[in-house]
Amino acid sequence: MLKKLQERWKVNTLNLVLVIFTFALGGSLCGVAGRRILNFTGMEKGVLWILLYIILITLLWPICVLLISIPLGQYRFFRNYLHKIWNRMAHNETKPVSIAIFASGAGSNAQKIIDKFRRDHSVSIALIVCNKPGAGVLEIAANENIPALLIEKTRFAEGDHYLDELRDKKIDIIILAGFLWKIPVGLINAYPQKIINIHPALLPKYGGKGMYGNRVHQAVIDAREKQSGISIHYVDEIYDHGKIILQASCPVDEHDNADTLAAKVHALEHLHYPDVIADLVKNKNRS
């Protein structure tokens, strides 16, 4: 149970203990404060007293836990926690959309996506999936207290595709953020039109097997293209082939090399990918 709370709240073990302690101490404080306020009125205990007491502690609880959270270093957590509760009450929200991010490298896009939804009560970044031990995205997962799943190629491509793990996290949408393995048909069928990829070129040019990272940028430069950019698209059975959701372009200058062009394309990725995902989430919530 404690492990599930830690994953749900995205906190480490020490902060989990402090959060639970804040809940307990804040509850006790608002209980004492509520009784003292009612005792001050001189009202005798009865049905009305009990009703007023319940109303009082309900109103006092947020204030008390915020006060207790300050010296315990948990103010940011409880501020966000209370904000989510208020939004759910105000908007009668359904459960958040659960996202898994698949990445193979440093995870800069993954970090931007996490940052985008950090305070968004409608989205949960529930899982980081990686195929490369030691990849930077695994460090991001650890720092953000997001569960990580390190996958093995044979099971992913030819086995059960880790569907049980994805279903256990109730994943709704899969986001590929620099994930280099081909997505197997079984996983695509399990998540139809719910797997999104970003490619560092203007598809249909410079896509396909082996076209990733600086290989793409060098191919663009060698072809003397005047523009490159990004393509955000749904994933189907063919590399870099699914329906395009958004494309954005940048100029390719004469002095550009693969690294300088990569920097331009990364800027486009960081600018557009989180917003496109946010739009997809909104559309899912409306459906």
With 0-12 / 13-18 / 19 or more C-beta atoms within 10 angstroms meaning exposed / middle / buried, residue 127 is buried
Q: Identify whether the C-beta of residue 178 lies closer than 8 Å to the C-beta of residue 107.
A: yes
Would you call 203 helix, strand, or coil by DSSP?
coil
CA distance 133 to 201: 27
The neighbour count for residue 278, using CB atoms within 10 Å, is 16
Both tokens assigned to 15: 């902060």
Q: Identify whether the C-beta of residue 131 lies closer than 8 Å to the C-beta of residue 181.
A: yes
Q: Which residues pair with 36 in a beta bridge?
A: none
Strand order in the sheet with 195-199: 148-150, 123-130, 97-103, 173-176, 195-199, 227-234, 244-251
The amino acid that residue 255 corresponds to is: H
Asked, as a colleague might, if the bond just before 204 is cis with ω within 30 of 0, I would say: yes
Residue 44 is given by DSSP the state P
Specify whether 199 is catalytic: yes
Which residue out of 83, 121, 199, 270 is catalytically annotated? Answer: 199
CA distance 188 to 243: 14
Q: Identify whether the C-beta of residue 123 lies closer than 8 Å to the C-beta of residue 279.
A: no
Q: Identify whether the C-beta of residue 155 lies closer than 8 Å to the C-beta of residue 131.
A: no
Residues recognised as catalytic: 199
